Amino acid sequence: MKTIFSLQTGIATLLCTAALAGLMACDADTVEQQGGKLPDKEPLETVSGMLRSGNSSEKTIDVLLTEGSDGFVMRNFYFQQTKPASDGLSLDAWIDATLLDDYNAAEEVERTLLPEANYEFPDGKALDLSPEAQRSALKRIKFSATGLAAGEYVLPLTVAGQDAPDANKTLYYNVSVRQPYTDEYALHDGHDLFFVFYINTNDFQPLLAQDYIMRKKLARGTTVAWYDAVGNIINLRTVMLDYDAATGRALLNLGNDMRYVLDHAVKYIRPLQEHGSKVCISIEGSGKGLGFCNLTDGQIVDFVAQVKTVVEEFGVDGINLWDRSAGYGKEGMPAMNTASYPKLIKALREALGGEKLLTVTVYEEPTSTFWDTQATGGIAVGDYIDYAWSGYNSESEVPQLLDPWHPELAYVSDYTQKPIANLPKERYGCINFPIYSTTSVDISTDIEQVLNGDLLDWVPNYKPNNIIVFDDLHTNLQDNYEAYWDTMFANCCTAMDSENRNILGSRNGYSYLFDNYRLGTLPNEAGEWIGGYGKWKKDWQ
């Protein structure tokens, strides 16, 4: 098992959405949801068909790759008819290079035909329909950027006959190869503060973290210690452990937003990884009564296999487990036990190996017995995880300081649990800060007491490491957070640094400033950069 400091950037790999449909809970089949059925007309005199994508309802499908990467992007396609053909049907998909000139002229974009070495068909190119079927099975097409220069490419895939082009029977894959992400701001190395973030993809793009830029400077004078981007570990949510009552399975439910982000990981995740951040998926409960604490051994095996598939195929750096909102105690659901969660953790570590991060958010009853190896079935949880940190970050409360090694201190939170068995204190994040808004003004005096009073004693005398955790990141919006949240964010950072001005004095101590300029700079329709609100809000439906 390796920590964040020695992990290498994960290899960029992606899996098409349809290939995971059996692993992840959703309300409807992915392909049906996006493509739908062709409208039937009564009476229907002839049978017509269409080559369709399982990833888009459009005839053009965007594929994004990274120059120099050995990763790949997987997409899928199928053939669908208005009604079953009486004798069945078999078609072969092929690449029609003669369509290139007309396509470029219509699109007004000069694209190059994608070289044959940069695509393959793992399932073959034959599309077969039985006499009873209206749709063929999905077939995959695998794209890679090996040897490709940055630029625009296209791959016209068709089942039309030679010299008989048919728009309904043709798909165009627009392949964009981008250069790796670079930034004028280096990612802070975490030697004084090691930043752990959460981002809720129901609201924001993961790229929001790119614009969290901090300056650490002497409180008096001009000396700047560093001026960097921050975000060493970025946990993306919301992903849930769901329950299928019909089958009794524990299902990994990515949800529409996370599914979209992962399916477009080259756009939303790879730039963060290329900058040095580790991007993980955070899993929590779905409210249906099944959670990490009441899984059967069979459900654990099944669920771990689903998680492993997502981690490996989408190229994320690991998993964060946060057992909240499971809805334990529902009628007909098994009771909580103290061995299930540790078994899940052990199984995940064994499945993911030592190159992926596995972290736990300490929260309420599910983690309360992790200190007791008798209760956990002999499993020392700390042997299997890289980090743990507090999950108490309510905006209606002051920052909650969890210190399992000094619970006797008056300012240590009552939420504090005993130390996790075999987890070094250097791997335990004691505070998870909310992103405070102006609604917290009523407790502002109490917040100040924690930041400039309690932490003034704890940081130099008891703080075990440099981990600082923040709840779901925010952007500039016209809301209760405006003109408040970024200042509070910086104040929390200052209070957690052992070199801060309150400890060392203003001549020798440092303070933090959140640089909001880039977060508030957006392009207008003309491509000019202007100030504004809502940067990095999700750009998908």
SS (H, E, C) 479-533: CCCCCCHHHHHHHHHHHHCCCEHHHHCCCCCEEEEEECCHHHEEECCCCCEEECC
pLDDT of residue 44: 44
| Phi, psi values for residue 359, rounded to 5° | -125, 155
pLDDT of residue 312: 92
pLDDT of residue 379: 99
Which residue is listed with tokens 């082009």?
165
pLDDT of residue 3: 47
pLDDT of residue 45: 53
329 CB-near residues (< 8 Å, 6+ apart)? 289, 335
Strand partners, 143: 73, 119
- 3-class DSSP state of 10: coil
482 CB-near residues (< 8 Å, 6+ apart)? 438, 476
pLDDT of residue 143: 96
Run of H or E including 260: helix 255-263
Measured from the Cβ of residue 377, the count of other Cβ atoms closer than 10 Å reads: 13
- Say if strands 318-321 and 249-253 run parallel, antiparallel, or are unpaired: unpaired
Rounded CA separation 473/477 (Å): 12
pLDDT of residue 523: 81
pLDDT of residue 56: 84
- This prediction has a pTM of 0.85
Residues (pLDDT < 50) of the chain are 2-44
pLDDT of residue 13: 36
pLDDT of residue 38: 45
Q: How many residues does the chain have?
A: 541
433 CB-near residues (< 8 Å, 6+ apart)? 393, 399, 468, 469, 470, 471, 489, 492
105 CB-near residues (< 8 Å, 6+ apart)? none
8 A C-beta contact, residue 390 and residue 375: no
- 3-class DSSP state of 414: coil
- Say if strands 432-433 and 467-472 run parallel, antiparallel, or are unpaired: parallel
pLDDT of residue 86: 79
Domains of the chain and CATH, by start: 37-178 (2.60.40.1740)
pLDDT of residue 528: 83
CA distance from start to end of the chain: 38
8 A C-beta contact, residue 197 and residue 470: yes
Instruction: Select from 434, 522, 490 the least CA-distant residue to 212.
Output: 490
537 DSSP assignment: B
Could you report the per-residue pLDDT of 176-195, keeping only the tens digit for each?
A: 999 999 999 999 999 999 99
Q: What angle do CA 382, 278, 352 make, to 5 degrees?
A: 50
pLDDT of residue 87: 84
**Joined tokens for residue 97:** 């290079």
